[in-house]
Structure 1
Amino acid sequence: MGLISDPGGQDKGVWDIESETVYNAWASNPKFEAIAPSSGTTQTSYRALVVLLTEKDKPLNDLMREKLSTNIANFARTDGKHKVYNGGDLSSRNFWHATGGRASINLVDIKDAKLDKKE
């Protein structure tokens, strides 16, 4: 996404050893090209839409609709107060946290979405 510099740049501490190894192998390739856009010139605000498919005649109930809406809002928070979910080998962070506070995402809240009840 171009949100961080290369491993030798200002974001050196963000890179992990494995990523740096991959980067160095890639950078040593004669066909290597610098990432564009680069850090400082890249897009930092994104918009996305969450689409939920349900089985015919099995609409989302109010409880599940509220849970989904809460998770969507949590994923898009930019104030550092997002909930982190941990469960076994899985953990999740929101978009802003995963980008180190460098980018944000605006998601359409399911509560605000218009429901089209076509047969």
Structure 2
Amino acid sequence: MVETPANRIVLFGGDLNMRDNELVKAGDIPAGICDLWIEMGKHQEYAYTWDMQRNTNLDFSANNFQPRCRFDRLYFRAATSPMVKFKPVAFKLEGLEIIQSIQRFCSDHWAIQAEFEV
């Protein structure tokens, strides 16, 4: 992301399976790169993309353990050119509803949805 030419927008994200403390150990987010969840206000309802307290697809009921983590992340680097207008304006999670026909969520992770102003 850092080495991409400055006149280009860069988006990188997915299921990184990385906890906050592991990110810090890896050197944290490079300067000029933003974590869109943080950039959009760190709303707690979107904090955990893997959340066994809300998502029942997996079951660790033998020990009553219900972990939650922000494994899925989306990073953004703006272009330096004033000709390129691309600004993050919203961040939320999708897939929070049970699919009625199968009584399951579509995944054990919530999907990240970000909106940008172009």
TM-score normalised per structure 1: 0.23
Larger proportion of helix:
1
Larger proportion of strand:
2
Point out which structure has higher relative CO (alpha carbons under 8 A, 6+ apart): 2
TM-score normalised per structure 2: 0.23
Question: Higher Cα Rg: structure 1 or 2?
Answer: 1
